[in-house]
Amino acid sequence: MSFEFKFPDYGEGLTEGRILEFRVSPGDHVAAGDVLAVVETDKVVAEVESPKSGTLLKFGSKAGNQISVGETIAYIDIEDGADTADNGSGGDNGGAAGRTDRRALIGTIDSSESVLAPSDELATRARDERKRANGSPVASAEPARAPHSITPAARRRARELQVDPASFESGLRVRRQDVEAASRPAAGTPGGPSTPSAPALAQSSARSAHAGIPLIDDPLIAPAGAGQGEAIELTILRKTIAHTMETSRKIPTATVYDVGVVDDLVDLRERVNRDREVRVSFQPFFMKALATALKRYPVLNSHFNPLSEEIRLFADVNIGFAVHTEAGLMVPVIHNVDTKTIREIDAEMKELVEQAKNRTIALELLRGGTFSLTNFGPFGGLYASPMIYPPQVAIIGAGRLHQEPIVQDGEVTAAWVLPVSLAFDHRVVDGVPAASFTAHFLELLRSPQELFVSM
């Protein structure tokens, strides 16, 4: 019996991936759990395991191609007597248990999980559940699913080509190539949707200018005299970063800037690193102070859900920290920072940085953050406007630790100072607690001996 193995959704809003390589060839025998392909997702490079034992008939795509959730990866001729109930049967990858293997990494994608609904549909379900809980009537579902079955890339392309997503047959999953095909008129048929020509776009821009909208460079038209340049397609990780930043920009953000004297912290770190081959950086000290400050100001250690209009406060302090990699920004998370020593935090942080740079970090180590830290100081810069990592409500940026003259007891003296920038969601946090939190954080770093006695 032929089994159609579809690319599964293993959570975190996954919609697509890029096939980097196939580990087996058509005609090969595969056992359940054997690696079929290596796929780059928005966060990790993951190994896709076969859910069944049998003979690989063919692949549903090619190496280098992007593949969306629900599209076929491979066709497998299942062996006689093989258990077909464990991971679903036929073309359905869903099982009764609906289990999901959360091991990642390099990572694994378990075919047992049913394909999840797109984010728009999940939001609608959430609203309907709240209505049911309140006893309010819920509108019956409409049969047409075209607006909810279009991939993000296809939705953007549809806007560019002026193609109506609702024009596609109900229930189909619309991909980018489907939109492009729909935009081309049939052979011998005049008119029909098509890519706007350069003159048409220029006329549209001119009309916008007459309407009071300033002219800007149109990304669909090469600027005069600039040549064609080089078009580089964004990686899946880069696309995820772009979408996350777009979401973050919609948050009504305010920022508190402050600076603290940290002479004692510099001295303490120097003593800690004395006669040590592996030196402890300043970042674990920042994390430990943040965990203590977040316990006093728990509203900053929370998530905000704009759909349900709820704030979820957390007892655990899980701090994500920004890591620059060649592939793009990643934010590993150290869980329960408040229960760990400086050396434990430092050792875990170094391990996570290495895994992030090698793209071998497990997905669970990128999840569950309740607050974020970006330490841009070693790369230059004193203050910044950090981008909040939704659904978190705050992020703090540490600038360049440096010496500057200050006045103490009426005398000018040199001191080590740390500039910080706290960006916070003003829907959830007001200015006074945000400023108080920042001041308390810097005070902990100013006198760190008692705070870090458990190092």
Q: CA 127, 129, 131, 133 torsion: positive or negative?
A: negative
List 253's β-bridge partners, or say none. Answer: 425
Give the N- to C-terminal CA distance of the chain in Å, as an integer: 60
Q: State which H helix or E strand residue 259 sits in.
A: strand 253-261
Q: How far apart are CA 39 and CA 214, in angstroms?
A: 43
Lookup result for tokens 């289990």: 99
Angle between helices 283-296 and 431-446 (to 10 degrees): 130
Is pLDDT at 286 greater than 50 in this prediction? yes
pTM, 2 dp? 0.62
Domain boundary pick from 147, 166, 183 = 183
Residues 178 and 257 in one domain: no
The whole-number pLDDT of residue 81 equals 57
Q: Is residue 191 part of a domain?
A: no
The whole-number pLDDT of residue 152 equals 63
Mean pLDDT to the nearest integer, 97-105: 35
Q: Is residue 208 part of a domain?
A: no
Q: Is residue 76 part of a domain?
A: yes
The highest-confidence range among 39-43, 147-151, 219-223, by mean pLDDT, is: 39-43
Mean pLDDT to the nearest integer, 37-50: 81
Mean pLDDT to the nearest integer, 155-177: 72
Domain boundary pick from 55, 75, 109 = 109
Residues 167 and 250 in one domain: no
DSSP string covering 206-232: HHHHHTTPPP---TTSPPTTS------
Beta strands in 16-167 (DSSP E): 16-22, 29-30, 35-40, 45-49, 54-59, 66-68, 72-78, 108-109
Residues 288 and 149 in one domain: no
- DSSP, res 282: S
Q: Given pLDDT bands bounded at 50, 70 and 90, which one contains residue 303?
A: very high
Residues 57 and 104 in one domain: yes
The whole-number pLDDT of residue 223 equals 61
Q: Is residue 195 part of a domain?
A: no
- HSE of 88 in the Cβ direction (CA atoms, 13 Å)? 21
Sheet holding 29-30, edge to edge: 2-6, 72-78, 54-59, 29-30
Q: Is residue 267 part of a domain?
A: yes
Q: Is residue 33 part of a domain?
A: yes
Instruction: Domain count for the chain, please give it.
Output: 3
Q: Is residue 311 part of a domain?
A: yes
Give the residue, 331 or 169, on which the prediction is more confident: 331
Q: How far apart are CA 114 and CA 93, in angstroms?
A: 6
Q: Is residue 340 part of a domain?
A: yes
Residues 275 and 379 in one domain: yes
Query: Residue 360 class from Cβ within 10 Å (0-12 exposed, 13-18 middle, 19+ buried)?
Result: middle
Residues 311 and 390 in one domain: yes
User: For 35-44, 259-268, 348-357, which range has the lowest pLDDT when averaged over its residues?
Assistant: 35-44
The whole-number pLDDT of residue 162 equals 77
List 78's β-bridge partners, or say none. Answer: 54
Distances (CA, A) of 223 to 206, 213, 249: 15, 19, 28
Is pLDDT at 376 greater than 90 in this prediction? yes
Are 8 and 115 spatial neighbours (Cβ–Cβ below 8 Å)? Answer: yes
Residues 290 and 401 in one domain: yes
Give the residue, 385 or 169, on which the prediction is more confident: 385
Q: Given pLDDT bands bounded at 50, 70 and 90, which one contains residue 196?
A: very low
Residues 100 and 7 in one domain: yes
Q: How far apart are CA 285 and CA 455, in angstroms?
A: 10
Domain boundary pick from 183, 203, 226 = 183
CATH number, position 84: 2.40.50.100
Residues 62 and 164 in one domain: no
Q: How far apart are CA 116 and CA 112, in angstroms?
A: 12
Residues 39 and 130 in one domain: no
Residues 28 and 149 in one domain: no
**Containing structural domain, residue 318:** 239-446
- HSE of 378 in the Cβ direction (CA atoms, 13 Å)? 8
Count the Cβ atoms, other than its own, within 10 Å of residue 277: 5
CA–chain centroid gap for 265, Å, is 33
- The pLDDT tens digits of the residues spanning 109-136 come to 333 332 233 344 444 554 555 555 556 5
The whole-number pLDDT of residue 102 equals 36
Average pLDDT value over all residues in the chain? 78
CATH number, position 358: 3.30.559.10
Q: How far apart are CA 267 and CA 287, in angstroms?
A: 18
The whole-number pLDDT of residue 172 equals 64
Is pLDDT at 355 greater than 90 in this prediction? yes
CA–chain centroid gap for 158, Å, is 24
Side chain identity, residue 143: P
Residues 395 and 276 in one domain: yes
The whole-number pLDDT of residue 93 equals 44
